[in-house]
Each structure stands twice: as structure tokens, then as C-alpha cells.
Structure 1
Amino acid sequence: MVVAILGASMTDLGPWYEGLKKPDWQPPDWAFGPAWTVIFAAAALSGVTAWRHAPTDASREWVIGLFAINGILNILWSALFFRLHRPDWAIVEVGFLWFSIFVPMIIFARYSKAASLLLVPYLAWVTFAALLNFEIVKLNGFGVPF
């Protein structure tokens, strides 16, 4: 909930965002809220499932730590893109965010396939968001930083 609230509070769809050129295939702005709601619900269920199936206290701590890292990276992306108006920096950061979803999927699969599969929508959405972020960088002349 904290990550969702902080991320949403960073998302400013004001004049700067409205002025950006966006690809034709971008979903309407209203679709992002429901998508993130479903994604965060599935991720929370993944975390609970992974934590319950983790075989040791140490592995349960890893579950919490991996979600904490992911939460920080999720909030950071919103801050870079929407608050600092740096989609070029956000495109670099989104790679770290992507791995912060992929790595837990691999780890969680060792003790709960369900916990791993519950992260698939999150990974798919962040992959899509990265492509969208990349197109916004290109369309608006930010220059691709890599």
C-alpha cells in the first residue's frame, strides 16, 4: 500500500506530462490506475504466498528484502519520470526495476510456483511501461542515455 500511495503521489499528469508527445499505442490515462491496482494486489499476494512457503527464516527475510528493493525502485521511477521530468533517467532506472521483479520470480519459483506466477502481470506491465518510456524519450528529443 505504501508503494502504491507514494508512487501515485509522485504521478503528476499536469502540463508537463500533457505536453509530451506520446505514441499512438499508449493506453488512456484512466487505464493506469486500475492496471496498477490489479498488479499491486497480485504482487502482495505473491509476497504473502512466497513468505508462507519460504523454508527458513532467512529465506523469509529475503522475500521481504526483495519486495523492499522493488518498492524503492518503483517509487524512484515515478520520481524520475513525473517529478524530475527526466524520462531519460527513468529509462535507465526501469531496467533495475525490471530485474527487481524478475529475480524474485526466479527465487520464489523454488518454493512456490504460484508466488512466482503472480508476478507475471507486474513484469509484463513494467516491460510495456519501459517500451512506452523509451518511445516518449525518443519522441520528445530527450536523447537515449545508452
Structure 2
Amino acid sequence: MLYEVKEGQVLADSRDASGKGWWLSISDKNNLLFQMNDGQTLVAWSSDPGTLQTNTQHQASIIIDGGPNIIAFVTDGRFNDGGEHRQFGWGRFSPYFNSPEGSSTLLLGPSMSGELSYLRVFDRALMVLEALTSQRFGRIE
């Protein structure tokens, strides 16, 4: 739950001292912004604008598929399709992106006004239906 939706709040951060790694923050459009950096390439994609509200429990799934190099968001049981703000609900990243590996320590809520109650990381890209199912029922095999 976010007590305040304010640009720049970091919800999760795995960056090392050189800036390599991935992190999740809040952008200026009241939405989530996922970024990853391999030391040469910065990748960024956000959920649809206005997906975050204060004092509301949110669920977010970030699907990162290294096969077709696609990032997509599912928030609060809805695939972020871009709406009126962009043509597609997914974005591509460079095939030359090496790895999001950063620090061996993951910081949770280092600059967050609220509570992060649950985080789950999968070792594969989920299908959108799996992300929706996980948000609704909390189970993925």
C-alpha cells in the first residue's frame, strides 16, 4: 500500500555501485517504472499512467521476456494495453542488452512511503494469463 504516490520513490532496487542492475520506482504519471541497466544499455518501461492511487493495495506483475525482448505490465488484474497513451501495452528492448545482474542484495522499499507486502520473482517469463491468475489466486506452478 502506498501512503503517497510521489515520483522517484524506489520500491525495489538491485543496482550495484556502478549502476548495473534493475529497479522499480514511481514515475511522474502515477505509475510504475521498471528499469534495468547492464552498464552499457538502459532499458525502461512503465505501467499505464494513473495506475497507482494512495492508500490502495496494488498488485503488479512485470513480464520480461528475453526471447522476443519484450516488457509488459499487468496491474490490479488488468493487462496494461497502453490505452490512449501509447499504441501498444508492451515495449521491446535491445537484443544487445546483456544482463540485469547487479548487486547480490535486493533493497525493498528503500525510499518508499508505504508498505511492500509481497514480492515474488519467477525464473521465467510468465504469460499474461499466468500473471492475471497469480494476481487473482496467488498460485502459479
> Into which bin does the TM-score normalised by the smaller protein fall?
under 0.3
Larger Rg: 1 or 2?
Answer: 1
TM-score, length-scaled by structure 2: 0.27
Relative to total residues, which structure has the larger helix share, 1 or 2? 1
Relative to total residues, which structure has the larger strand share, 1 or 2? 2
- Larger RCO of the pair (alpha carbons < 8 Å, separation 6+): 1
